[in-house]
Amino acid sequence: MLGLTILSIFVFIIITIIVLEVRNERKYQEGRRKKRGKTGKKQEQVFPPDPAPTPQSQEAEPSPEPKPTKKEKKIPHCTYLQFSHQRLIEMGLSDEESKEFVQELIPQLEAQIPLIEEVLAIPDFHQMERLTHSIKGSATNLGTGGISDLLVECNTYLKTGTDFDIANAYFGYLKHYTKELKEQYA
């Protein structure tokens, strides 16, 4: 009798979890439909223009918003705080573990950059999204700043974006922040 009661409780818990997951999925899908608007088309993200990736300072500087002209492209302006080694230490890693962690990420980034460059030439936005997603997880384990923030923003854009110039701008920033991280850990 006790076994049947335990089994019943276990089945009840499993069914409850499934029902909650179905509700969450429906809410997620409804949110996506609302974001797409009544027409069902994906809405374009808008970024402030930036002539070239030149973030060198420790702090991100806000830039004034230019007045948009009709049909003006909104190229991303990616200025993030520089990655701080101290953040990894604060997360509980030793100095040696922190350096090893970043030094494992750098070759991953360097291996993906030529692949992203190839699909950028096509351009295949879905494949670019998959490639950036594959390194986003490793980079975000570093915390925030630099390459982490860039990959999150870039990957989010590539899920729905289709503008070649914007994708190309993100790629330029990816090379810049990878170089910056490599120099920091040389």
**Model confidence pLDDT, tens digit, residues 63-74:** 455 554 445 567
* Band (181; pLDDT cuts 50, 70, 90): confident
Domain extents for the chain?
A: 1-31, 85-184
pLDDT confidence of residue 50:
45
Check whether 114 has a pLDDT greater than 90: yes
pTM score: 0.58
What is the rounded distance in angstroms from the CA atom of residue 76 to the CA atom of residue 6? Answer: 56
Check whether 2 has a pLDDT greater than 90: no
Section 128-145 average pLDDT: 84
**Model confidence pLDDT, tens digit, residues 38-49:** 444 444 444 444
pLDDT confidence of residue 84:
75
CATH class of 85-184: mainly alpha
Check whether 128 has a pLDDT greater than 80: yes
